[in-house]
Amino acid sequence: METVGSDGEKMSSKCGYEERVIAFLDILGFKKIIEETETETKKFEDLLDVLKRIKEGVEQLKTGKYNPTDIRMSTFSDSIIISAKITEHMDAFVQQLLMTNIWLLEQGCFVRGGVDYGKVYHNENMIFGPAFIKAYELEKSADYPRILFSKEAIKKLHHNKQPNSKIAVSITHSYFKRDCDGLCYLDYFNYANNAEEGYAKFICNLEKMMDKNIASNLDDVGVIKKMDWIKNKIQLCNKNQEQKQNLTLDDFIENFMDCVEYT
């Protein structure tokens, strides 16, 4: 028996798993955000707008110049799942994750996530499979508001980059960083910093979010720990911005390869 996927591709219902890179994103503090939308119309509209923007970004990847063969998105409650088949144009997938993170932050939503690669079944109505479980478990281990990438996902993205495209590596893969605990994450601080004009506003908004979270969770060690992590990353990003003029293309590529080779 055969079924037809969202991209029109036939697949066997007996063996419907596909090899895909999959991102599991969790919107932190979503319960409180939903409570606020009950009484604040603007909060409701802002949340709806950002979720629509994320969906539109994914839809554009299906028809745009840097179109992955197949990209899919599901949302339920506080979770966003985005998966794609690996192609030579995976830079667009990474960019989508970065922008999803930043758009949610702009609306006061911290994000934690995990990205892995492997077997998964994902259509408009359901998602399951070993890779989904791995991405979910990786998200739970992230601790801080960051999107972690497994070694398998990092290596797969590296081996399927656009042929002879060192520029693509420098632009996109430079935003993979290895954290102090040895895990690789998507550095949205550095990405936002390259927007220049919008960076100051982004940081100002982020600091307000941090102050609000600290003020309402003074006795919560976990929350304070998360806010300290963000504070340290902002300071590091500002320091790196001062040194950016001295960075070369090889520096960018070396940083990405450091993540590719991590264990």
Contact 206, 129 (CB under 8 A): no
Report the chain (263 residues): mean pLDDT per 10 consecutive residues. Answer: 44 71 94 90 91 89 66 91 83 86 90 96 91 97 94 80 50 72 88 68 86 86 91 82 48 52 51
The reported pLDDT for the residue numbered 19 is 93
pLDDT 10s digits, 72-130:
999 988 999 999 988 766 778 888 899 899 999 988 899 999 999 999 999 878 999 99
The reported pLDDT for the residue numbered 174 is 65
The reported pLDDT for the residue numbered 247 is 43
Would the pTM of this model clear 0.75, i.e. be above it?
yes
The reported pLDDT for the residue numbered 134 is 97
Domains and CATH numbers, the chain: 16-260 (3.30.70.1230)
